[in-house]
Amino acid sequence: MARWLIRVHALRWYRAARRFLVSHGFEHAGNLAFLGLLALFPFLIFLLNLAGFFGQTAAGQQAIALLMENLPARIAEAISRPIDNTIAHADEGLLTGAILFALWVSINGLEAARLTVIEAFDAWPHAMPFWKRMSVNLMLVLIAAALILAAMSLLVLLPVVLAAAERWFTLPGQVLELGRLAHHVIAPLLILAAVFGGYRLFTPAVPGLRRRYLPGTVWTLIAWWASAKAVALFLSHAERYDIFYGSLAGIVLTQLFFFFLAASFIFGAHLNAAYSHTGNEEERPPVTHGD
């Protein structure tokens, strides 16, 4: 039975890898990486403006700081200065344009990610019409921004609330420790929710198909963590990594990092599809006969 289980899982991974290559997964990953980097700067400006509109500017700034903390150091350094300059020197007209551009690029980025999931499941006949997909993508962008701000507001307010409560009550050590750990927990939880939610929302409802999202989610999270560690390890042993691209080396490295993230997400979609399409002859358990 153990050998059969190993064979079944190996077969599903093989199918996912083959389907990923046949459906031009690397090419789609390049498109996703480009759209992701293209949308990053205007989306952060949009996030800050949305935070300021609701009187939560500190939450918007906390979101950007948390993003920088969870990127490899050289990549964070490459994009933090342009972000700071853009925010510092943006006038009202630029901000309005940035908001509209951020919405347009983010919607198209979500659409590109959705199409890769539909392709992975080969579910084009069951996909929503184009206009409905774009409308849903717009709502997802707005909801994602609101959730990020809510999480960052909690992160900003939690230490203040705990400090105020400590003046009046004797709080258990576990509660205070929870407040300190929230800063390190919130980012992984947001990433987990984004990946799992993306797979669930982007996968069309195919009649008779039990859709699975956990295999791709686990793979994507592990692959993203490994990509960040691999980039950091590479940079620690390559002090002159800018010898080929000069002043553009930081942006090229960031684009490459985004490419790894996008490829991991797309392969995760194919992995979900492979685990959803079960019941093939090769996956049936061996028949055992009694004595």
The widest CA-to-CA distance across the chain, in whole angstroms, is 83
**Within a domain: 7:** yes
pLDDT of residue 159: 60
At 132-170, the pLDDT tens digits run 999 999 999 888 888 877 777 766 666 656 566 666 666
Taking the whole predicted model, whether its pTM rises above 0.85 is answered as no
Q: Which of 164, 62, 45 is nearest to 97 (CA)?
A: 45
* Residue 291 binned pLDDT confidence (cut-offs 50, 70, 90): very low
When divided into structural domains, the chain yields a total of 1
On average, the pLDDT of the chain sits at 80
pLDDT of residue 139: 93
* Residue 262 binned pLDDT confidence (cut-offs 50, 70, 90): very high
Residue 36, pLDDT > 70, answer yes
Residue 281, pLDDT > 50, answer no
Which residue is listed with tokens 């050590």?
Answer: 173
Mean pLDDT score, 187-197: 86
**Within a domain: 122:** yes
**Within a domain: 290:** no
**Within a domain: 264:** yes
Residue 101, pLDDT > 60, answer yes
**Within a domain: 289:** no
**Within a domain: 288:** no
The phi and psi torsions of 129 (rounded to 5 degrees) equal -60, 160
**Within a domain: 291:** no
At 37-53, the pLDDT tens digits run 888 777 777 777 777 77
Quote the CA–CA distance of 282 and 239 in Å, as a whole number: 50
Range of the domain at 253: 2-283
**Within a domain: 51:** yes
* Residue 102 binned pLDDT confidence (cut-offs 50, 70, 90): confident
Contacts of 137 (CB under 8 A, 6+ apart): 106, 107, 110, 111, 114
Which residue is listed with tokens 């950091």?
Answer: 232
